[in-house]
Chains A and B, each alone.
Chain A
Amino acid sequence: MQAFADGKRGRNRAYRLCGLKLASDFDLPALPEWDGPADAPADVDCRLGEVPSRLNLPDYIAPIFQTSGTGEYLLALPGTGRILVRNGNEITVELEPGPAPSNLSAILSGPIQAVLWHQRELLPLHASVVVIKGRAVALCGKVAAGKSTLAAMLAEQGHYAIADDVCVVDMRNKGEASVWPGCTRLQLWRDALTELGVSTDGLERALEHKQRYFLDCGNRLPFQPYKLAAVVQLVRNMLPPARLERLRGVQAANAMYDCVHTQRSARALGRTQPIFAAFPLMASAGVGFWRLMVPRDLAGLRQAAAKLLATLED
């Protein structure tokens, strides 16, 4: 995959970014292609351009990013380049000289997308999302917790994987919590694919320099928001058997805060308080918070999937 396929500036790519249209100078294979009206104006522009090495008046400076107010976020990542996100609708990328970095599209589709949602005052969770009986279940957890693998297992059983890595929770309709489909493919590492009995032959790599692949689970749902029924925090490497416990109150709020995507950037952008305020609203909207303790191996993950389905399908 070439991050900037033709080497020239031009808005010739359009993607679905949840409910928005994203026009991009870059290939972003993790996102579904735009299938709405071709002449619809873009809600978000992602373009190649000049990016300053620092913000004018930064009020938060971290080793690789800085922010100014709620509207400006600058990532400076040696080996990739600088990325400026402004006002939730503008992403500018200045690449380092030399060959196109192999990880640009992953960074744009992952942490940069999450920053964009923080700026738009929505709640991005670090989660894969599966729709079970018409209702969305967000599978959260730390990196390598098994979120995507669990989503793939549930998709195998006929449920629908609609987001991977970034789950955008929309609370703008009072009394409702919904999530938009964010992708049509899951990203899985080779060992997980092997254990699921899926060959990597013919699969597109999600990262050129690592053995991470796109897996199309095949089944599709209409591109519309889905009511969020549950947020499940996966905790991996626990002792067997798999266990599922309901979280409430402060315990739920703390666990959910752990699941916020790019939490440090959210803090820098002044989103901590609104995020904590969102959790009780989610609970009022009928979202259940759970913790799923998952043993280390794949059998443990299958056991966890069965436990989760048995509880949520009731």
Chain B
Amino acid sequence: MAGIWLLASYHKSGNTWLRVVLASLLSGRPVDINAMPSVNFGASDRALFDKALGIASADLTIEQETNLVPRAYEIWAAEAQRPIYSKTHDAYRLTPAGEPVFPTTATRGAVYAVRDPRAVAVSFANHRGRDIDDTIDRMENREAGSSESIPRLSQQLFERPGHWSDHVESWLGAPFPVHLVRYEDMHNDPHAAFAAVARFLGLPCDSERIAAAVEAAAFPRLQAQERAAGFIEKPSRSPVFFREGRVDGWRQVLTAAQAKRIVTAHGGVMRRCNYDTQLLPFTAEL
């Protein structure tokens, strides 16, 4: 069975970067960030869901929609000619009917990208066009997701990333193989981090191919592509998508109180992922 590989993460945790590397690896050449069909299968793509099930999801309640997502996955997996690499920001969770949203029978495994939640807060605030405190609130909200009351028809189905710590733990406890990759490791030693991902996915992982894919997805190159042509995944409220790509940029932006709030809420899972919870913003060290 070709099956589905899930590329899962909380928002702004390196999912796009990971997909650019995988797209380069799969095609054997640098990719256009606006044309990556091999890794742009969106698990929450409303049009794909409608096409698979023969219904208009826009007419359904959120409960009906979510209960049918596993059926869509089963159809995609059964009809796939080759492995599907599917991005998701959803938590690994159950439908209202009580079955996993991501059915084990259709899923070969997941790569889970995690990033220091202090860096996530800064990047996600920029992405949302909201302030950092509001974003920290959202990362603590177990119900946080796309809302049923939104005044527009989203191209995405309802997703519930929820609480940041719960998100991480839900995926690490999923009942299929899960490969954890830290954003910071992708940044500090990309060759090792992406080679391990490629090995997990059964893709070519020889040093030369990995080096070429890493080079093709180097952050300055992604920024240059976005500057030159734009990026179709950039939200309109966000000035740029590929912003800094730093691992410790949060230390220049967060206040000590904000950093403390994040550690208080998520310290246990941060330590589980080897994040130094003692690290402070630079301003707090003065």
Q: Tell me whether A and B are bound partners.
A: yes
Would you call A144 and B153 a contact (CB within 8 A)? yes
B230 contact set on A, CB distance < 8 A = 239-240
Identify which of residues 76-117 in chain A touch chain B, using a CB-to-CB cut-off of 8 Å: 77-80, 102-103, 106-107, 110-111
A107 to B58, CA, bound (A): 10
Would you call B51 and A263 a contact (CB within 8 A)? yes
B97 contact set on A, CB distance < 8 A = 78
Q: Which stretch, B60-68, B161-169, B269-277, touches the partner chain A?
A: B60-68
A79 to B68, CA, bound (A): 11
Answer yes or no: A50 CB below 8 A from chain B CBs.
no
Tier of interface size on chain A: 35 or more
Would you call A296 and B236 a contact (CB within 8 A)? yes
Identify which of residues 217-264 in chain A touch chain B, using a CB-to-CB cut-off of 8 Å: 236-240, 262-264
- The 8 Å CB contact of B47, one of A63, A77, A143, is A143
Would you call B54 and A64 a contact (CB within 8 A)? yes
Would you call A64 and B58 a contact (CB within 8 A)? no
Would you call A77 and B64 a contact (CB within 8 A)? yes
Tier of interface size on chain B: 35 or more
Interface string of B89-120 (1 = CB under 8 A from A): 00000000100000000000000000000000
B68 contact set on A, CB distance < 8 A = 63-64
Would you call B154 and A144 a contact (CB within 8 A)? yes
- Separation in Å of the B211 CB from the closest CB of chain A? 30
Pick from B54, B57, B68 the residue with the most CB of A within 10 Å.
Answer: B54
Answer yes or no: A135 CB below 8 A from chain B CBs.
no
- Separation in Å of the B126 CB from the closest CB of chain A? 18
A209 contact set on B, CB distance < 8 A = 61, 148
Q: Which residue of A lies closest to B152 (CB)?
A: A191
Answer yes or no: B286 CB below 8 A from chain A CBs.
no
Would you call B151 and A190 a contact (CB within 8 A)? yes
Question: Can you list 23 contacts pairing A with B, beta carbon distance less than 8 Å?
Answer: A62-B53, A62-B75, A63-B71, A79-B61, A107-B59, A111-B55, A142-B50, A143-B57, A143-B58, A143-B155, A144-B153, A194-B151, A207-B59, A211-B150, A212-B58, A237-B155, A237-B232, A239-B34, A240-B230, A263-B51, A264-B53, A268-B54, A297-B236
Q: Give 4 closest A-B pairs by Cβ, nearest first.
A: A190-B151, A142-B47, A63-B71, A191-B152
**Which residues of A approach B to under 8 Å, CB–CB?**
62-65, 75, 77-80, 102-103, 106-107, 110-111, 142-144, 165, 189-192, 194, 207, 209-212, 236-240, 262-265, 268, 296-297
Q: A79-B64, A111-B56, A143-B155 are in contact. List 13 more A-B contacts (CB 8 A).
A: A62-B53, A62-B54, A63-B68, A64-B54, A80-B64, A102-B61, A103-B64, A111-B54, A142-B47, A142-B155, A210-B148, A211-B149, A296-B232
